[in-house]
């Protein structure tokens, strides 16, 4: 991994003083350095990658400086619209540097949800007229940032650096967790399964929650046909839940969302509230951090998600839930009320080290869910 204490002074020397984006595991130490060393007027952690492009565009127009936008390559989809209709040289011609973690790098075996995105990452840059270089050596990182800064300034448009594994983060993430009396995610998931049993359909958000739900369904002795594991498409889980709830009105649909994921596309709260599926329970497992990609603080416990849900038409408890018994009681009550419902469950940080990896065949799992929904 490149030495960040040397990289960032070099970046400032190039006039790169403003950073915004969404954390990524391949950029973990780069992101943590920003969190720990940059003031709020120089670093903004955005809700999603499209937001980050907009923030960067505004900052450039206010200062004339070249901003840096970081993201995982899965976020290119969120960023595509503003990259093409805002910052492109044929529109407002705004220079910025994209720092993109390369999940699904064809040279490295990765999960299925990253494979196609990895193959297409350089192709998408080319098709969007974004010059790029690949960061694959610690020795050339500063030189390549200098190239990007010069190219962005010269072309007055976006430039990209596609980052391979272990260049801007250590090979193994080191995370420490403070002691807390709160439940962990598995305990919260287990409590809900205890109340609703195997007649409901359970959805888990992107990240470790998919593995945790899968494990809890096994431990409860339930069939895997009652689960949907959202291994990609971060931020879209409650929308998937809305579609399931509308298509299967006789089934209770339980969405186990994440706090950063819920904030990423919060417009789905309004859509769900507008259409009021009475069989949908939307639960945010809120630990206040982007845990799967390094533990950077999210907005989850800074903003009031319950008030947001109330304003969008959900039935809520009007406050977060923090204990297992309280969670069981409120789930039972909301399930009986037959109303679009929301619960903000504050859970502690931490990932169980011996949690089994997720080994599923995605299309087989989809068919199992669909067969179960027809019963």
Q: What is the CATH number of the domain that holds 289?
A: 3.40.50.970
Both 155 and 279 in one domain: the answer is no
Residue 336, class by beta-carbon neighbours within 10 Å (0-12 exposed, 13-18 middle, 19+ buried)?
A: exposed
Domain count, the chain: 2
Residue 350 has what pLDDT? 86
Residue 97 is inside which H or E element, if any?
strand 97-101
Both 292 and 219 in one domain: the answer is yes
For residue 299, the 8-state DSSP code is S
Residue 175 lies in a domain: no
Residue 152 lies in a domain: yes
pLDDT per residue of the chain (375 residues) written in tens, 0 to 9: 999 999 999 999 999 999 999 999 999 999 999 999 999 999 999 999 999 999 999 999 999 999 999 999 999 999 999 999 999 999 999 999 999 999 999 999 888 899 999 999 999 999 999 999 999 999 999 999 999 999 999 999 999 999 999 999 986 666 667 778 999 999 999 999 999 999 999 999 998 999 999 999 999 999 999 999 999 999 999 999 999 999 999 999 999 999 999 999 999 999 999 999 999 999 999 998 887 777 788 888 999 999 999 999 999 999 999 999 999 999 999 999 899 999 999 999 988 888 888 999 999 999 999 999 987
What does residue 146 show for φ and ψ, rounded to 5 degrees?
-65, -40
Residue 175 has what pLDDT? 64
Domain boundaries, position 282: 185-373
**CB environment 255-290: b (16+ within 10 A), e (fewer):** bbbbbbbbbbbbebbeebbeeebebbbbbbbbbbbb
Cα 263 from chain centroid (whole Å): 9
Residue 355 lies in a domain: yes
**pTM for this one?**
0.93
Residue 71 lies in a domain: yes
Residue 290 has what pLDDT? 83
Helix axes 185-196, 324-337, angle to 10 degrees: 40
Both 100 and 49 in one domain: the answer is yes
Residue 70 has what pLDDT? 98
Both 194 and 315 in one domain: the answer is yes
| Lookup: tokens for 125 | 């840059």
Both 140 and 218 in one domain: the answer is no
């Amino acid at each position: 991994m490149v030495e960040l204490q040397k990289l960032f002074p070099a970046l400032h020397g190039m006039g790169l003083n403003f950073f915004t984006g969404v954390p990524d595991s391949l950029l973990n130490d780069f992101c943590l350095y920003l969190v720990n060393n940059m003031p709020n007027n120089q670093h903004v952690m955005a809700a999603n990658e499209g937001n980050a492009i907009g923030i960067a565009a505004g900052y450039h127009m206010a200062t004339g400086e070249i901003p840096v936008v970081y993201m995982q390559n899965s976020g290119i989809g969120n960023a595509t619209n503003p990259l093409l209709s805002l910052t492109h040289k044929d529109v407002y011609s705004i220079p910025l540097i994209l720092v993109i973690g390369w999940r699904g790098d064809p040279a490295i075996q990765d999960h299925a949800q990253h494979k196609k995105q990895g193959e297409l990452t350089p192709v998408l840059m080319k098709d969007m007229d974004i010059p790029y270089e690949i960061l694959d050596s610690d020795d050339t990182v500063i030189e390549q940032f200098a190239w990007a800064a010069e190219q962005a300034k010269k072309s007055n448009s976006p430039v990209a650096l596609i980052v391979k594994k272990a260049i801007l983060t250590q090979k193994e993430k080191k995370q420490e967790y403070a002691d807390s009396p709160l439940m962990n995610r598995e305990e919260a998931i287990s409590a809900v399964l205890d109340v609703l049993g195997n007649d409901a359909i359970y959805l888990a958000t992107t990240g470790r929650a998919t593995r945790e739900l899968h494990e809890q369904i096994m431990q409860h002795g339930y069939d895997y046909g009652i689960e949907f594991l959202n291994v990609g498409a971060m931020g879209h889980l409650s929308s998937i839940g809305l579609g399931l709830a509308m298509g299967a009105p006789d089934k209770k649909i339980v969405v186990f969302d994440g706090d950063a994921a819920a904030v990423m596309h919060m417009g789905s709260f309004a859509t769900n509230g507008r259409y009021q599926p009475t069989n949908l329970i939307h639960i945010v497992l809120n630990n206040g951090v982007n845990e799967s990609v390094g533990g950077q603080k999210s907005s989850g416990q800074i903003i009031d998600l319950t008030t947001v849900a109330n304003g969008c038409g959900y039935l809520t408890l009007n406050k977060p839930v923090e204990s297992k018994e309280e969670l069981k009681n409120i789930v039972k009550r909301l399930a009986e009320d037959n109303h679009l419902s929301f619960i903000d469950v504050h859970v502690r940080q931490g990932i169980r080290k011996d949690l089994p990896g997720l080994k599923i065949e995605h299309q087989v799992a989809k068919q199992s869910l669909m067969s179960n929904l027809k019963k």
